[in-house]
């Protein structure tokens, strides 16, 4: 992100862009992905812009990373019968398009994500 440029997630957090929010706490927000790759596809986003990816988050604030993972588990319990994939894209070459750390929760209320799929089959 260039200096002064805010990510789409920061704009969602600020209420400037609407989102289907499923969780909101002091440090984390979660909402439905607008282009889901599985029956349940949620994004879990720390409210700070400080970290571009999960590697920076792990090094800079491991407690926030642990909180993010615990939130993902809670949301998977609520939306996907507790079974889920937690995906962090790190770097443009791995498919990261928003450089504000976030995790994708992929799951299904009835299970059924096959091994080897990315959830979009």
Count of H helices and E strands in the chain? 3, 5
Instruction: For residues 121 and 113, give the distance between their C-alpha atoms in angstroms, rounded to a whole number.
Output: 8
The catalytic residues are 102
What tokens were used for 109? 């209320």
Query: CA-CA distances (angstroms) from residue 16 to 13, 31, 91?
Result: 8, 14, 26
- Please list, residue by residue across 35-45, b when 16 or more beta carbons sit within 10 angstroms of its beta carbon and e when fewer do: eebbbbbbbbb
């Amino acid at each position: 992100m260039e200096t002064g440029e805010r990510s789409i997630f920061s704009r969602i957090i600020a209420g400037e862009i609407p989102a289907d929010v499923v969780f909101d706490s002091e440090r984390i927000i979660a909402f439905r992905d607008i282009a889901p790759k599985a029956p349940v596809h949620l994004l879990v986003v720390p409210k700070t812009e400080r970290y571009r990816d999960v590697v920076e988050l792990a090094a800079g604030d491991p407690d926030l990373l642990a909180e993010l993972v615990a939130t993902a588990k809670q949301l998977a319990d609520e939306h996907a019968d507790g079974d889920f994939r937690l995906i962090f894209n790190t770097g443009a070459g791995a498919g990261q398009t928003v450089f504000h750390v976030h995790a994708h929760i992929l799951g299904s209320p009835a299970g059924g994500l096959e091994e080897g799929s990315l959830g979009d089959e």
